[in-house]
Structure 1
Amino acid sequence: MNSFNRLLLVLIGVVGLISAGLLALTVYDVPNLSNWLQTWQQQEWFYYTVLAISAFLAVVFLILLCTGLFTNSPDRELIIVTSEGKITISKATIESTALKAIQSVQGIRSPKVEALINPRKEYVSVLVSCSLFGREGLPSIGKDMQAEIKRAVESLLELPVHSVRIHLTDTKTQTKERVV
């Protein structure tokens, strides 16, 4: 989530909490309220309705406020701090390295690689999704792909790779209807 969206959520949350508080104050006897509001206050349903609406709005806006304050934006780069300064490695570089590591596998079709970066803990997770055509022993192929991706990315970053997840699909088992 970018900074503008976070700021917008925080502002909506603060305004919503203030509005919910003011709405809750209408239930109690506050001086300088208009006469029509005071006649509504005499109704039995008024208290329960206003309190229920206030509680609902407070919960919704509290969720928005917490989301704006505590949500981290997805990181597009890994920042490694050294004694000489910072080193920035882009997410695209990590993904292309992982993609190059699996291109030697025969029969691979439509590989998609996604790197998940946690800059605070300085680790990377890699998710690979692809199809294999005409291959047997998918678990062993997947283990080989995991090992190769992990080796390639760790040698690039000089940091440990947290996990490598592989999602393989065998194209033989997929059926496609053909219209003649």
Structure 2
Amino acid sequence: MNIIIRLASLFLGLLTVTVSAIVFFETLEMRSLTGWFNQLRDDPAYHAVIWCMSGALLVFGLAVLVKSLTARSPEPAILLDMGNGRIAISEKAIQTHIMKTVLLTDGVRSPAVHTRINNRNSFIEAEITFSIFNQVDLPGLCRKMQSEITTTVENFTDTPLKNVCITVRDLRTRDRLKVV
């Protein structure tokens, strides 16, 4: 697909230069060119050629414009440069890996994982939100979960995990509390 875009851009550039040169030279009042353009204007095919070139320029220009406006950016991924190539690990794969680690903890309900990848400084940030059911030592559990997530993501991606932010939305117990 890349070669097709390059060829279309080349054709569009050549067509633009040709049409621009014809319009530019037609507006000049040079004696040597005036006679030649007068002969061309008298030729019935001249106007058809100009209209076709202008139409093709318009169509290709609109196609390039639409392509540039509708082009999707690539999915965020962490890029690992190897000696003989590059490996891209998608943000979705990292989120799935974190989700599996979070779900290994007993009592976690309805977790949500959001990540941010920074390829320029080569780090990952993660934000995990969940409800928990019947846990007593909540800070200890969250610290343990942070260290497990950090270890698994760093082993999975070979990239440091800068922040692991855990938000507990709700703490549910089995006992029903009566509000007096």
> Normalised by the shorter chain, which TM-score bucket?
0.5 to 0.7
Q: Per the alignment, do residues 108 and 77 of structure 1 end up closer, same or farther by CA in structure 2, a change over 3 Å counting?
A: same
Identity of aligned residues (%): 31
1:171: Cα distance to partner? 3.0
Q: Deviations over 1:108-157 (max 9, x none)?
A: 11000111100111110111000001111111111011011001100101
Contact map agreement 1:75 1:117 (CA 8 A) in 2: no
Alignment of 1:17-166 (within 5 A): 76-166=76-166
Contact map agreement 2:75 2:90 (CA 8 A) in 1: no
1:158: Cα distance to partner? 1.2
Residue 171 of structure 1: SS of its match in structure 2? strand
RMSD over equivalenced CA pairs, Å: 1.9
Q: Deviations over 1:4-31 (max 9, x none)?
A: xxxxxxxxxxxxxxxxxxxxxxxxxxxx
Q: Provide the C-alpha distance between the structure 2 equivalents of 1:154 and 1:143, rounded to a whole number of angstroms.
A: 16
Residue 4 of structure 2 corresponds to none
TM-score, structure 1 length as denominator? 0.52
- Unmatched 5+ residue regions in structure 2? 1-72, 174-180
Give the partner amino acid of 2:78: L
Q: Provide the C-alpha distance between the structure 2 equivalents of 1:172 and 1:101, rounded to a whole number of angstroms.
A: 21
Residue 136 of structure 1: SS of its match in structure 2? coil
Moved >6 Å (runs of 4+): none
Q: Provide the C-alpha distance between the structure 1 equivalents of 2:144 and 2:87, rounded to a whole number of angstroms.
A: 30
Count residues in correspondence.
101
TM-score, structure 2 length as denominator? 0.52
Residue 146 of structure 1: SS of its match in structure 2? helix
Contact map agreement 1:78 1:119 (CA 8 A) in 2: yes
Q: Which structure's relative contact order is higher, taking Cα pairs within 8 Å and 6+ residues apart?
A: 1
Structure with higher helix content: 2
